[in-house]
Amino acid sequence: MSTSAGGKVELLNGISGLPLIKLRTQWSEAEVYLHGAHVTGFQKHDEEPLLFLSKESRFAEGQAIRGGVPVIFPWFGPKEGKAQHGFARVTTWELKETATAPEGAVSARLELPKCPEMTSFQPCKVQFIVTVGAALAMELAVTNESPREMFAFENCLHSYFEISDISAISIKGLKGAEYQDKTDGFVRRTEERDKIKISSEVDRVYLNTTQAVEILDPGFGRKIVVEKEASLSTVVWNPWTEKARQMADFGDEEYKRMVCVESGNVGENQIQLPPGETSRLRVTISSTRV
């Protein structure tokens, strides 16, 4: 499928033969696996990749892809006896529609099938829409199909960003936000820095913040901007050396080339969705030269 403005969408076989949607535009290209509705790549033609993907990532049923944008639903973090970060990212989604816009953007709409794990939850409909142009726009739409019950869930687009070096970057946009420090027993602190530098393991859940976040990367001469809608939580994570070594699907040195800035509603920001209503978590990732 292609447009007059050069947009093109193809369904291919990706790594390990997993179905992959390739989206190409005049500005950029992106890849989305049906496995987890997982955006594994987004790159503008004249730039370094915007998303990090581990060279050690697994591409297998039941395994989460390490990098890109894991879709976290319906819970964030561990849950007794269940897969960490929910089942959406390890389920094969259905491709419902692809579209090309006259100006050249292209999009794909995927739906989470009514898998067994879903039916043990509230009846709900879950869709993920990826729109590729000069920026990467993603929407996780959850509709509560119960006639009477509220639907309480967490959601998060767990974006891994490619950076020149962890020592070179700084993160702006979280000053004044309260966060839980997962490296220190979830103790609550307030972010006092305008520009956050990372020089050890960082795992922070910033709460009640709707601000856009910027990753300033002088090494790549760019600023990455993460804008979000219908999201109160921002998570910042870098595993650093010890955690990097412990992850089999992550290179020991790869912590230097990535940082996660994740957008969603987790913990006390979890969503309480009334019957019949739809939650639309939207994240737009863009970059500019600096």
- Which residues lie near ligand TA6 (CB under 6 A)? 64, 77, 84-85, 158, 182, 203, 235, 237, 260, 262
User: Whole-number minimum distance, CB 85 to ligand TA6, in Å?
Assistant: 5
Catalytic residue among 35, 38, 85, 158: 158
CB-CB contact of 74 with 121 (8 Å): yes
Compute the distance between CA of residue 130 and CA of residue 149 in angstroms, rounded to an integer.
29
Annotated catalytic residue 117: no
Query: In one letter, which amino acid is 260?
Result: C
Q: What tokens does 195 get?
A: 């520009």
For residue 44, the minimal CB distance to ligand TA6 (Å) is 25
Given a contact cutoff of 8 angstroms between Cβ atoms, the answer to whether 265 and 231 are in contact is: yes
Residue with tokens 């009846």: 123
Task: Give the nearest residue (CB) to ligand TA6.
Answer: 237
Residue with tokens 């291919």, as numbered in its chain? 12
If the CB atoms of residues 53 and 132 are measured against ligand TA6, the closer one turns out to be 53
- By beta-carbon proximity to ligand TA6, the closer residue of 93 and 206 is 206
Residue among 128 and 250 whose Cβ is closer to ligand TA6: 250
Minimum separation from the CB atom of position 203 to ligand TA6 (A): 5
CA dist., res. 173 & res. 71, Å (int): 23
CB of 285 to ligand TA6, least distance (A): 17
CB contact at 8 A, 100 and 25: no
Q: Would you state the structure tokens that stand for residue 206, as one six-digit string?
A: 């910033």
Residue with tokens 């561990």: 78
Query: Is residue 262 among the annotated active site residues?
Result: yes
Nearer to ligand TA6, 38 or 158 (CB): 158
Nearer to ligand TA6, 35 or 158 (CB): 158
In whole angstroms, what is the distance from residue 7 CA to residue 240 CA?
Answer: 38
Q: Tell me if residue 267 falls in helix, strand or coil.
A: helix
Residue 77: CB minimum distance to ligand TA6, A: 5
CA-wise closest residue to 56 among 254, 288, 272:
254
Spatial distance between the Cα atoms of 246 and 236, rounded to a whole number of angstroms: 19
Would you please indicate which residues are annotated as catalytic (active-site) residues? 158, 262
